[in-house]
Amino acid sequence: MKKKIGLITCAVSMLATEIPSVFAENVAIQDDVVFIVENSLAGSQIVVKNLADNTNNACLSDAGLNLLGLNADTKATDIAIKNTTAVVTTYNSASLATDVKLVNVSGCMTAPPIPVTECITTVSNGLLTIPCVQYNGQILSVILEQRGNSMNWELKSSPILNDTFKGYHVEDDEDEDHSKKSKKQDALIG
């Protein structure tokens, strides 16, 4: 019991004497990029690091977007990433006001986000179109055709199909069919 009272008394006395506390900075992660709100500079800044190797990323500092331009009484308190915008909340200790600062971070994104409206699968006239299929590091659209009245679908058109048959020539198939037919005829005759 005496230990708890001692700890509470110590915490209250630290707050009363305004001894600064040490807190971790706020962080947001998007597309292998780490965004850190850093208040060691007057006016605050956003530090950007690459998640894979922890190296600094100059995507914002080159454009001067990393400096938030806040006054001495205002500190950045939190950061969140929505699509290609950093939403940084701020707090002004003089006016006791909370606000938001928006920063365009599209230059930091390794892969631009695809809007949901572009990734809606559609069925029309026996064709099933599936956008946003990832294949070999690319985002592609695939079209499937309905087979009869069943719920079976057959690949009709896509870059995947084009890759699968790259270098394929119809003549190759005709030569193969011709040689099979001649072998069957030879077997029947012979």
Query: What backbone torsions phi and psi does residue 27 show, to the nearest 5 degrees?
Result: -135, 145
Q: Which pLDDT score is estimated for 187?
A: 52
Q: What are the helix and strand counts (H, E) for the chain? A: 3, 10
Q: In one letter, which amino acid is 183?
A: K
pTM over 0.75: no
What is d(CA 57, CA 51) in angstroms, rounded to the nearest whole number? Answer: 10
User: Has residue 20 got a pLDDT over 50?
Assistant: no
Straight-line distance from the first to the last Cα atom of the chain, in angstroms, rounded to the nearest whole number: 105
Could you tell me which residues are beta bridge partners of residue 100?
Answer: 89
The pLDDT tens digits of the residues spanning 48-82 come to 988 888 888 888 887 777 788 888 888 888 999 88
Helix (H) or strand (E) holding 80: strand 74-82
In whole numbers, what is the pLDDT of the chain averaged over residues?
A: 74
What is d(CA 61, CA 46) in angstroms, rounded to the nearest whole number? Answer: 9
Pairing of strands 138-146, 153-157: antiparallel
